[in-house]
Structure 1
Amino acid sequence: MRYKMLASSLTFLFCTSFKPVELYQTESSAIAPSYVAPVYKALPLGAINPKGWLHHQLQIMRKGTTGHLDEIYPKVKNDNGWLGGKGDAWEETPYWLDGAVPLAYLLEDKVLQTKVLRYINWTLDNQRPSGYFGPITKEEREKGVKVTAENCGQGEDWWPKMVMLKVMHQYYTATQDSRVIPFFTKYFNYQLKSLKQCPIGKWTDWAESRGTENVMLVQWLYGITQDPSLLELAGLIESQSFAWSTWLGNRDWVIGAATQQNDEQWMRRHGVNVAMAIKAPAINYQRTQDKKYLTALNTGFNDLMTLHGLPMGIFSSDEDLHGNDPTQGTELCTIVETMFSLEEIIGITGDLRYADALERMTFNALPTQTTDDYYAKQYFQIANQVQVKRGVFNFSLPFEREMNNVYGMRSGYTCCLANMHQGWTKFTQHLWYGTADQGVIAMAYSPNQLKTKVGKNNTAVTINEVTNYPFEDVINFEISTKNTAAFSLQLRVPAWCQAPVVKINGQTVEAQQNAGVITLNRTWKNKDKVLLQLPMEVTTSNWGRNSRSIERGPLVYALKLEEKWEKGTDEKEGNYWNVFPKSAWNYGLLQNTVKEPAKNLQVKNSKPVSDSFVWNLANAPLEITAMAKKIPDWQIVNDVAPQPVTDRTGIYRGKVESNVEKITLVPYGCTKVRIVAFPVVPN
């Protein structure tokens, strides 16, 4: 399949030294000539407030594991290293905070803010004089040594600190706590002095493979302080890390990843590493202004999705990249990390193809992999997932305990239990960006309220975005301002939309696009209203092994299968759930559906989208009906349903039942068991 790209204030608790500082300083001539300011500026955490169904999704997370992981998960709960204890001192606590911190400020939840501030304050208050930070090391605890650049080997792994830097960055954008910039500055000075003696990969391959996360924050600080040593540090970290920009631009890497599933160089194929690394070329371009990195980005992402892409908008990752067969798995961490990488890419490059990709994986791949209460998750999801159970499956990760596909809090590896919280929260943070002309752009669409300052006069405005997108095609923007405000309101037009409609105060205006953006540049008054309609057509798309998927707008649709849930308990991984279908799943779409989808697929609204919407079958707001025939020989083999073989015309030529049946499809994100990549059968 050729991926379409898609072508196709809280008073600061416990803070004794708060002094406001400017959050985003204006780029000036003092910045190195090679440094590229982002095309779109990320807005401070808290500027965007979720509403409607999106607000409810975050409330579910607060009530679930995101708000309570430190109370229910022993690894984070017990004697935590990020609070000075002897417990978890590696990635899982920072992973959790990387989602819990934005959730606390998006929901303006003082209880959750107080909770996450324990970790933030401990980390800030216990930074070593040298600039080193993090949990107390073994050498410090047992021998009383002070970690310095000269004895950096007495420190510990760089990797978990990279995640905590992301946490601190978000906290700073929400609070402007004056302790944070000096904290970053001291640590990066320590790194610059230490890295020749203690390189990024000294302790683990994880740090070497994920150095981009470190570089990203170094360059963010440079955009504020303009200290040239930071660009030197960024280049040094990049030189010691995996050469992702080179690999992404070199097709040998992605081809090799598609053909090799052995232990050799598996970290180069590890799906979560790849998810983080996708943004590496954009970050290198930001530092160097070398356009070869943009070429590498576009080549690498296109090749990745061509060879490993799946209909729900993410690539296979179980744990390696594993081709585009609909029976391959994808790790939950891969989804949330890819989302964040795309959000960074969009800001740096302004390339809106990545916004299409972001919406596709957010609205399809993300919601299906957690339970309604956000207490259980699935380590690997499968596109054509005809059952969820303990078993072997077609995964490259060792599977001795057979727990990688079930829903459980601790099933599979627990990295995803800690890391899944950043998906919805950071998506919410990136619904809007600031533009270079001091306007704003609506980048991704969901119900929310934006509060920001715009225009040359820095006028305060509130924009209420009222919509049930992605389930409907109309998005309303209501502007509130005490004074008139002259600024550009930019609206992204997804690549799948052919004829957008724009109305201002009820009057249709010409919707001229430039590179997928409609710009409304005017002086806005209080109570001005903008309507954007993005008409959604039903189409089909071609995927692995000549399969076809049905989509409409940003949503992909899957066969609706009523679910039978069965609870089990594993001695090591605790409670889990199997899910089985209650009806037949082995259907092929009629050939006419592919030839004329608009004529042969019927869309209906099945129920309204309420503010208490949950991504499940009971709440699926849309259905599509199609005509299909059963394929009797399409059966489960080794726990998966291998895709029926088709000829090059895309038609399955084996035995097909003569009876034509009407099947119902619902949004993929509302399913747990399903078929989404259908074989095509004769009419």
Structure 2
Amino acid sequence: AVLTNDKALLAACKRLWRSVTLKRMHITGGIGPNPRNEGFTADYDLPSQRAYLETCATIGLLLWAQRLLHAEKDGRYADVVERALYNGTISGVSADGKTFFYGNPLAAHPGFDGNGRYVDEGFHYRRSEWFGCACCPPNIARLIAQIPTLLYSYAAGALYVHQYAASTARAGVGPDVVELTQKTDYPWNGRIRLSVTPSRPATWTLALRIPGWCRCATLRVNGRPVKADQVMRKGYACIRRRWAKGDRVELVLPMVPERIEAHPSARQTVGRVALQRGPIVYCLEQADNGANLAEIALPRTAKLSARRDSDLPSRAVVITARGKRPKHDRRNRALYRPAGAKGPATTSVPIKAIPYFLWAHRTPGEMLTWIRDVPG
């Protein structure tokens, strides 16, 4: 559409985009819940345990978003690139790069495969060394290799920073060359420091994406505050000035653990919340929280805390809170029993959530992304 300047085709692409991202995309950026056609079903059909969400499909969504971003500088496209990159794609490869997921469900239970189909009681859905149809492993390897191409672009007198990662780039800005260096521990820390080194002083725009998950970004140029909300344009803080060697920009994107709810039409997630911090979506694993994860409830008043965990790769940030579990009388062996007017008593339990992309690296067991949401 862009290469041929076909406006009707581009408009169709955007209509499809809105349909996918507003009605059919999972919180991890995964798409295509149906294993039969490796594709879509109906609007707001967003299951967890039987979600297929092939790694290749999520990569396809990411690349589609990147193409639309080149056609129109709108932060919504870059937000989806980020969501897919940090969640639904890299979950498809182990931290050591040796094993792979084909499908990426949002819940797992012993005995069932990645599509929610029963295998046997001792089965655990884990990454595999290879597949008969091995499209996902080389696809994710290719994506990781091309991550540098996702970070920056230049258009219409503006140098855009779409994604944040420690890096150095050299870009043509009009007749000049600009070297831009990022220093950051993103996505674990939202502080980004940029050094600007143009070949000569010149006036142009530096456009920094403010992610959709960020509520209150702070921005400074050479130590002086810039009101980000006053220079926003389609999800980017656009700083136009005369840039010179030695200029420094600091952007802080506060990363606060928060509860995320789905659209009320997404029936499988009604009454549940997911946890997110910055661009990272989190999940519960049996290794940290014990069996029967579906029993765990997260009170709305429970404080969410974040900390680095030395037991996880890269000392990833985990989210902790106090949750509730019901006190069932397990001596009653009846499959069904009267519920009672007040329901079962509950006990307070610690909850630990890890980044979704790091699940299935430890002792096999259950996994759950959408957690029961209850009043405090």
**TM-score if structure 1 supplies the norm length?**
0.46
* 3-state SS in 1 of match to 2:65: helix
Alpha-carbon contact 1:620-1:667 (below 8 Å) kept: no
Determine the structure 2 residue equivalent to 1:501. 218
Alpha-carbon contact 2:31-2:39 (below 8 Å) kept: no
Matched, 1:417 2:142: no
Alpha-carbon contact 2:282-2:355 (below 8 Å) kept: yes
Whole-Å separation in 1 of the counterparts to 2:226 and 2:23: 41
Q: Where in structure 1 do 4 or more consecutive aligned residues deviate above 6 Å?
A: none
Whole-Å separation in 2 of the counterparts to 1:393 and 1:656: 32
Whole-Å separation in 1 of the counterparts to 2:326 and 2:147: 39
Alpha-carbon contact 1:588-1:628 (below 8 Å) kept: yes
* 3-state SS in 1 of match to 2:346: coil
* 3-state SS in 1 of match to 2:300: helix
Determine the structure 2 residue equivalent to 1:90. none
Deviation of 1:617 after TM superposition, in Å, equals 2.7
Whole-Å separation in 2 of the counterparts to 1:605 and 1:336: 29
1:493-518 Cα distance to aligned partner (Å, 9 max, x none):
11222322111111212322122221
Matched, 1:623 2:345: no
Alpha-carbon contact 1:386-1:585 (below 8 Å) kept: no
* 3-state SS in 2 of match to 1:498: coil
Whole-Å separation in 2 of the counterparts to 1:525 and 1:392: 53
Determine the structure 2 residue equivalent to 1:467. 184
Determine the structure 2 residue equivalent to 1:601. 303
Deviation of 1:356 after TM superposition, in Å, equals 0.9
The Cα RMSD (Å) is 3.2
Q: Aligned in 2, Cα 1:405/1:481: closer, same or farther, shift over 3 Å?
A: same
Matched, 1:383 2:73: no
Matched, 1:374 2:97: yes
Determine the structure 1 residue equivalent to 2:48. 326
Residue of structure 2 aligned with 1:558, choices 283, 287, 304: 283
Determine the structure 1 residue equivalent to 2:193. 476
Deviation of 1:655 after TM superposition, in Å, equals 5.7
Determine the structure 2 residue equivalent to 1:646. none
Q: Percent identity?
A: 20
Whole-Å separation in 1 of the counterparts to 2:124 and 2:116: 11
Whole-Å separation in 1 of the counterparts to 2:103 and 2:344: 31
Alpha-carbon contact 1:629-1:657 (below 8 Å) kept: no
Q: Aligned in 2, Cα 1:654/1:667: closer, same or farther, shift over 3 Å?
A: farther
Matched, 1:549 2:274: yes
* 3-state SS in 1 of match to 2:207: strand
Q: Aligned in 2, Cα 1:657/1:493: closer, same or farther, shift over 3 Å?
A: same
Counterpart of 1:495, as a letter, is G
Deviation of 1:492 after TM superposition, in Å, equals 1.2
Q: Aligned in 2, Cα 1:588/1:306: closer, same or farther, shift over 3 Å?
A: farther
Residue of structure 1 aligned with 2:258, choices 531, 539, 557: 539
1:149-206 Cα distance to aligned partner (Å, 9 max, x none):
xxxxxxxxxxxxxxxxxxxxxxxxxxxxxxxxxxxxxxxxxxxxxxxxxxxxxxxxxx
More strand by share: 2
Deviation of 1:303 after TM superposition, in Å, equals 3.0
Alpha-carbon contact 1:356-1:494 (below 8 Å) kept: yes
Whole-Å separation in 2 of the counterparts to 1:316 and 1:289: 27
Alpha-carbon contact 1:606-1:621 (below 8 Å) kept: yes
Alpha-carbon contact 1:537-1:553 (below 8 Å) kept: yes
1:375-427 Cα distance to aligned partner (Å, 9 max, x none):
2111112111345x7748436xxx9xxx9953112236312133222322333
Residue of structure 2 aligned with 1:676, choices 361, 369, 372: 369
Alpha-carbon contact 2:154-2:171 (below 8 Å) kept: no
Alpha-carbon contact 2:269-2:370 (below 8 Å) kept: no
Whole-Å separation in 2 of the counterparts to 1:601 and 1:298: 39
Determine the structure 2 residue equivalent to 1:440. 159
How is 1:20-35 mapped onto 2 (pairs within 5 angstroms)?
none
Q: Aligned in 2, Cα 1:494/1:393: closer, same or farther, shift over 3 Å?
A: closer
Counterpart of 1:675, as a letter, is L
Deviation of 1:487 after TM superposition, in Å, equals 2.2
Whole-Å separation in 2 of the counterparts to 1:299 and 1:325: 23
Determine the structure 2 residue equivalent to 1:394. 116
* 3-state SS in 1 of match to 2:196: strand
Q: Aligned in 2, Cα 1:527/1:311: closer, same or farther, shift over 3 Å?
A: same
Determine the structure 2 residue equivalent to 1:174. none
Determine the structure 1 residue equivalent to 2:7. 289
* 3-state SS in 1 of match to 2:189: coil
Gapped runs of 5+ residues in structure 2? 263-267, 329-340, 361-365
Deviation of 1:454 after TM superposition, in Å, equals 1.4
Determine the structure 2 residue equivalent to 1:266. none
Deviation of 1:484 after TM superposition, in Å, equals 2.3
Whole-Å separation in 1 of the counterparts to 2:134 and 2:353: 32
